[in-house]
Chain A
Amino acid sequence: MIISVASGKGGTGKTTVAVNLALSLANVQFLDCDVEEPNAQIFLKPHILDRKKAGILVPQVDPAKCHGCGKCQEVCAYHAIAVLPSCHGKKGKVLVFPHLCHGCGACSLLCPQKAIEEVEKDIGVIEIGEIQGIQVVQGCLNIGEAMSPPLIRQVKEYINRTRTVIVDAPPGTSCPVITTVKGSDFCLLVTEPTPFGLNDLILAVEVLRKLQIPIGVVINRADIGDGKVEIYCESAKIPVLMKIPFSRDIAVSYSKGTPIVSQDPLYRERFINLYRDICKVANEAHTYH
């Protein structure tokens, strides 16, 4: 089963929930898909066994073969390739802007002269590690790199369905989140009971409903703020699977990178129960479809 942990709003406790859930279960694979800011390693401290460069394919033009016909510029939807026409007897030139390139391959496939080869451009690294029987796969986007979805897709290629796969998602509701949660059997949405938490939870719920992924909510710092998140969940028929009260102890151990379950064994029991409830909701949704 693939369980992703997402939130809409940042800083609500996605990584905390994902990490503690992983540490409470057996036979787990943990994927950190928050490749812009991968934080799970701070809590899991995996031994890194393998490190691979991740890249996307960008065009490289062979000037000897290029006739300057302009087909590549015409087919590029992202304005990542421009053809300067020849003038005053000087040969034309093709300019490539790798940062705009989505790596779709259209230019290379459709070039009539077969003058465009695709070469790999680094966008980040993928690390594979291990800790207490948990396989950890994490992506880390290079500084200055704009596009995280290709790296997220490459992290997800490591998914091993013979394990319980826990996927830590980035915040927000746009492409990086969608790329991450796509294909999950269940998505846990972590929120906090404030107007910001509620506003962003509603956005995240709309996205997951569109993707037809079963959901459940964890309310973190459940005793601060107001009761509107619970009222919303009840009216939208979304199960609230866990509430974690605000505690200075939890906040302090978080700040040091210590998981809750290492600090307070009672929480291990609570996370095992959370997993049971997730399975129940996911199965019901499955039967329903």
Chain B
Amino acid sequence: MKHILIISGKGGTGKTVVSGSLAALAKNSLMVDCDVDAADLHLLLHPVIRERHDFRSGQTAVIDQDLCRRCGKCIAVCRFEAIKQDSTIEPFSCEGCGLCSRVCPHGAIRMEESVSGEWFVSDTRYGPFVHAKLGIAEENSGKLVSKIRQVAKELAQQQSRDYVIVDGPPGIGCPVIASLTGVDCALIVTEPTLSGLHDAKRVAEVAEHFHIPVKFVINKYDLNLDMTKKIEDFCREQDIPVIGKIGFDKAVVQALVQGKTIVEHVSCAAADEIKKIWESLKSE
């Protein structure tokens, strides 16, 4: 079984478009959407939800206003600016450390377990799909990512799946690190812009930091051929294979608007290139 993660550093380079197409091409696979705070893959896969679970993680402080004497000790110790001057908690700033409840001399602060999201196991036309939704203004996205990766891994083992296709989040922080853990390959989708290259380099470094092999795909490569060449030069120097270059194609947006993956929408150059990318990933 092979776990393939699609990441980018910079957002909006085409991670989910590529992930959706790979899901369509891979036989006997399972899909995961690890971009839990702005998940989009479901818009292409149209999941039918089979299981729904609360994601419980962390705690939030609650101040009992009847017991509180406004002494301000809690405000003084809180490093997250989560307690307002009027001694009420801003729940979206609270990181659940519990220090306030421990220092309160009046026992006015209790810690409550918070439900900070939901995760789902669904059916799609391409196989099972594990996905999640972080609650509004909630934290712990990294832990939610770890949770669904774990669920997906167990399910894929039970069902003897050949591939796990993981759509990753943008950036390089905790949800990305949680997505990278234990994958066999990180496919970095970038675009020929200075920002795209800058961000792809950083996320490639993160992947290498965790000893994950990296491959590149350059999306919309024909928007700036000089930049495409710079990305290819960088990859050559770093010994990173570039396994595909997808041209700018209006059909990609048309497919998206219809809620389809590009490979099932219409036969076009972009779809052919993604098929080539899949053949290359598969052959290893």
- Chain A residues in the interface with B (C-beta under 8 A): 7-12, 15, 36-37, 39, 42, 75, 77-78, 102-106, 109-110, 141, 143-148, 153, 170-179, 182, 194-196, 199-200, 203, 206-207, 210-211, 224-226, 248, 251-252, 254-257
Could you say which residues of chain B place their CB within 8 Å of the CB of A171? Answer: 11-12, 38, 170-171
Assembled-state Cα–Cα distance A83/B250 (Å): 59
- Cβ of B105 within 8 Å of any chain A Cβ, yes or no, is no
Contact A77 to B98, CB < 8 A, known contacts A194-B257, A196-B256: yes
Some 11 contacts from A to B, beta carbons below 8 A apart, are A10-B12, A11-B12, A77-B98, A172-B169, A175-B139, A178-B137, A194-B256, A210-B136, A225-B253, A255-B193, A255-B223
- Cβ of B224 within 8 Å of any chain A Cβ, yes or no, is yes
Assembled-state Cα–Cα distance A98/B199 (Å): 25
Assembled-state Cα–Cα distance A9/B13 (Å): 11
- Chain B residues in the interface with A (C-beta under 8 A): 8-13, 16, 35-40, 43, 58-59, 77, 79-81, 92-93, 95-99, 102-103, 134, 136-139, 141-142, 169-177, 191-196, 198-199, 202, 205-206, 209-210, 223-224, 227, 250, 253, 256-257, 259
Assess the B173–A141 pair: CB atoms within 8 A. Answer: yes
Could you say which residues of chain A place their CB within 8 Å of the CB of B139? Answer: 174-175, 178
Output the nearest chain B residue to A39 by Cβ-Cβ distance: B195
Could you say which residues of chain A place their CB within 8 Å of the CB of B103? Answer: 109
Could you say which residues of chain A place their CB within 8 Å of the CB of B175? Answer: 174
Assembled-state Cα–Cα distance A143/B191 (Å): 21
Could you say which residues of chain B place their CB within 8 Å of the CB of A195? Answer: 40, 43, 256-257, 259
Contact A252 to B223, CB < 8 A, known contacts A171-B171, A178-B92, A203-B38: yes
Could you say which residues of chain A place their CB within 8 Å of the CB of B58? Answer: 77
Could you say which residues of chain B place their CB within 8 Å of the CB of A103? Answer: 79
Could you say which residues of chain A place their CB within 8 Å of the CB of B199? Answer: 37, 39
Assembled-state Cα–Cα distance A10/B250 (Å): 19
Assembled-state Cα–Cα distance A173/B133 (Å): 11
Assess the A174–B37 pair: CB atoms within 8 A. Answer: yes
Output the nearest chain A residue to B14 by Cβ-Cβ distance: A11
Could you say which residues of chain A place their CB within 8 Å of the CB of B257? Answer: 194-195, 225-226
Could you say which residues of chain B place their CB within 8 Å of the CB of A199? Answer: 38-40, 43
Assembled-state Cα–Cα distance A158/B137 (Å): 24
Assess the B256–A147 pair: CB atoms within 8 A. Answer: no
Contact A146 to B142, CB < 8 A, known contacts A109-B77, A255-B192: yes
